[in-house]
Structures are given as C-alpha cells and as structure tokens.
Chain A
Amino acid sequence: MSDRPDETELPHDLQAALQHASERGSEPGRDLWPAIEVQLRPRAARRPFAIAASILLALLLGLSWRLVQSSTGAVPSDELAAVASSDTELFEALTRHRAESERLLRLVDQALASHPQQVGSEVRNSLDAMQAALAKLEQALVEEPGAPQLASRLAGLYEQHLRVLEGLDGRLQGRGSLPRSDP
C-alpha cells in the first residue's frame, strides 16, 4: 500500500482547532467522582500485603500440580517430624518454622486489629492460602519422602514463609521488618 492516505493532512487551522478541542475536552453529564471514590481501595496499606502474599503464593503454587493436588488437611506433626528427622536442613527449617510462625502470626493478628477490616480480610485470606499450600506440600512429603528435592524445597518455603510474616508484621507495625528471635 502506498503512503498516499497519510499525505492528506488537515489544514493548519483545523489541526489547531482539533488540538484546542482535545485539550478542552468535555465534561461528563454527571459527576463520576462519587462512584469512583467508593471503589478506591486503601493504597498504602494494601499494596505491600498483596505483593508479599503474591510472591509466596506464586512460589508455592509454582510447584507441580500433582504436589498441590495430592491431599488436603494438615499433616500430623509427629509424622512430619519423623520424615524430616532424616534431613538436617529440613528438620532445622521445620523446627524454626514451628517456633516462629506461631509467634509471628499472633503478632500479625494483633496488628491487624488496628487496620481497616478490608485489609484484615485480604491479609488473612492470603495467609490462609499460604498455610493451606504449605500443608499440602507437607502431606506430599509424608506420602513420598524420597521425592527428589522436595525436602529442600519445603525447607526453603518455610524460610520464605517466615520472611513474609516478618515483613507483614513490620509493615503493619509501621517499621521495616521485625527481628526474628532464635528458637
């Protein structure tokens, strides 16, 4: 196709008028702001949670569908401990996770009391999803203790889960992060 169509420029006065009309715009027939305002979600409080939660969720859900779909419900702690005892890295991560996650979850829960209900719901839903995904991976490990690299992946996820909880707590409390106490 030739370039002929583009050569039909508008006269300068029309271009100028068009520019003027474009800059002036036209007001909507009604005020749209009230409908926009009621749908605005809190920015400062919401984004860090969404980002932190989505990072861990993506990591967790990125594992194979077979692992994620393998079971539901929490693994009895003695069964998991028995499996983990043969893997030093996993056993240490599991021990630390058990000691820290409960404490951090309590702190997050307390801090959420001073935030809007919507923020609390978002955070709790994300945390519940993380817990559920972790539980499924734990179950998968119990069922297939010899699955390649599963133990080290789970150990890494325990650590990441703790970091997310620390970050959440720190942000909820209005500081960068929360120092983790040694078990």
Chain B
Amino acid sequence: MTRAGDARLRAAREGDTGAFEALYRSSVAQVYGACRRLTRDDAQAEDATQRAYLRAWERLDDYRGDGSFTAWVRRIAVHLLIDERRRTWREPLCADEQIFEAVPAAPRRSSAAAVDLERAVRSLPDGARQVFALHDIEGFTHAEIAELLGVSIGTTKTQLFRARRALRSWLT
C-alpha cells in the first residue's frame, strides 16, 4: 500500500469515514469486478460489494497489511457472494453434467480485447465461470474452491479445464 493509502487506513481505523471513502473509491472497481465475474446478476454483485465494505469497516483492525487492501476486500466480497449463493441455491453449484450444455455463441475478439475477455468469462456457464474466476483470477486453490462451492476437487479441476478450453477456443 502507498504512503497515502497507509495514512488513509490509519485514519479509517480511527473512525474517519472520509478516509474510508477514499479507500473505497480506489478499490471498488476491482471488488465489484470480482463479484460480477462470479454472478451475472448485477444487483447481487452490487449488494455483495456494499456488504463487503461494511464488513471491512467492521474488521479494519483485522487487516494486517500483508496483501493489498483491495485484495483483502475482494476476498471478503467473494466469500460473501459464495455464502449467499450457497444459502439460496438448492442444487449443486457446478455439477459436471451441467457444464457447457448451453454454451452461448462465442464472443468475438476485437480491439477492445479486455472488454471481450470479460464478456467471454461472463459467458461461461455458472459453475465453470465461478471456478475459473476463483482459481485463475482470485488465486484460490482447488481445495479452497471445493470447500467454498461444496463440490469435490475433481469437479473444480474439471470445471477449470473446460473453462480454459472454452476461453482458448473463443479468444485465440
């Protein structure tokens, strides 16, 4: 974290909401982006983002600074979102058989490659998208993902394999 970021963090820990707003402004795009990769529902992504910052405010003293503040809030948001989905979903989050049965038409690559990449990731079926986002973007291990999603490690590996294969075929 930068010196200015450190100062904001100290001030926020003292209860300065203005400093916390500055931390929010500098990180919200990444936090919301992470949520949006895990759910296609924008309202749900916004809700998880809001709750993640509220929890971060409550637990600022727990943040040790061994990673970036943004990464810390992102992880909180991801956990909140997955917990929420586990509570509300009745069926397994990513059964092998469901995958790629209804893959949408491949998004085309253009000059705005990053935008297309995001679109391609969001086009993946739920299970594959979640495993891919958690593993390749958020840095969770297969064991962590398996526990989070309530599936086997074999399933998360299969989902990741299929997600990568689809992205390769779409984007290269």
Contacts and interface: CB of A to CB of B under 8 A. Distances in A.
Contact of B57 (A24, A27, A29, A40): A40
Contact of B54 (A15, A27, A40): A40
Contacts of A25: 28-34
A85 B12 CA distance: 51
B137 interface: yes
B15 A18 contact: no
Given A5-B158, A28-B32, A37 B118 contact: no
Q: From DSSP, what is the main secondary structure of chain A's interface residues?
A: helix
Nearest to A3: B157
A23 interface: yes
A58 interface: no
21 contacts: A1-B153, A8-B168, A10-B136, A14-B168, A17-B113, A17-B114, A25-B28, A26-B32, A26-B36, A28-B42, A28-B45, A28-B46, A32-B32, A33-B21, A37-B17, A39-B54, A40-B20, A41-B58, A43-B13, A43-B57, A44-B14
Interface of A: 1, 3-6, 8-11, 14-15, 17-18, 20-30, 32-33, 35-37, 39-45, 47
Given A5-B158, A28-B46, A32-B50, 18 more contacts: A4-B161, A8-B165, A9-B164, A10-B136, A15-B136, A17-B117, A18-B137, A21-B118, A22-B33, A24-B114, A25-B33, A26-B118, A32-B28, A32-B49, A33-B21, A37-B17, A44-B15, A47-B61
